[in-house]
Amino acid sequence: MKKIAKTNAARLLDAASIQYELIPYDVDETDLGAQHIADQLGENIEQVFKTLVLEGDKTGHLVCVIPGAEEVDLKKAARVSGNKKVDLIPMKELLATTGYIRGGCSPVGMKKPFPTFIDESCILYDYIYVSAGVRGLQFKINPQTLVEFVGAQAVDLIAEKVE
């Protein structure tokens, strides 16, 4: 078994004495989606969360962490963050804004702290997965611990499914 290199995000959790596991998976550059990760981990897609970075018209950047198979409801995200309107930031701005690339964006250890909102469904589970800061590596972490560590609010962020 090869040693897993610690990410900056993992070092931050270590420094705070937070329990987590680093779980590697095989990266498919053509499919950076959460379903691929869930399949690789043999886990339920509802427990594999993706990290999205948005920009509000009043407050600037914010982070939404939602279950992998879901879409963020932009109106809900705007409301909870004190904005009239929010939108995903352009992909080309992700690295400069957060220090992370697409498929490796973690809610832990961004270049600077942003208001963070995690979908409330996370509290249904003993653990969830979020990116550990690089493609191919996930944190397996207690959701309440994550919420507290990143100073997030657990709120409803999910867009209703349209049949």
76-127: pLDDT as tens digits: 999 999 999 999 999 999 999 999 999 999 999 999 999 999 999 999 999 9
Distance, CA of 30 to CA of 46 (rounded, Å):
22
Q: What's the pLDDT score for residue 4?
A: 73
For residue 151, is pLDDT > 80? yes
What is the helix (H) or strand (E) element at residue 9, kind and residue range? helix 8-15
Question: What pLDDT is recorded for position 6?
Answer: 86
Specify the pTM.
Answer: 0.93
The torsion defined by the Cα of 34, 63, 143 and 71, in degrees rounded to 10, comes to -40
* Most distant CA pair in the chain, distance: 50
Q: What is the 8-class DSSP label of residue 31?
A: B
Domains located in the chain, CATH noted? 8-152 (3.90.960.10)
Report whether 50 contacts 66 (CB < 8 A).
yes
Q: What is the 3-state secondary structure (H, E, C) of 84-99?
A: CCEEECCHHHHHHHHC
Burial 117-136 (b: 16+ CB within 10 A, else e): bbbebbeebebbbbbbbbbb
Determine contact, residues 10/132, Cβ cutoff 8 Å.
yes
Mean pLDDT of 129-156: 96
What is the DSSP track for 114-135?
--EEEEGGGGGSS-EEEE-SST
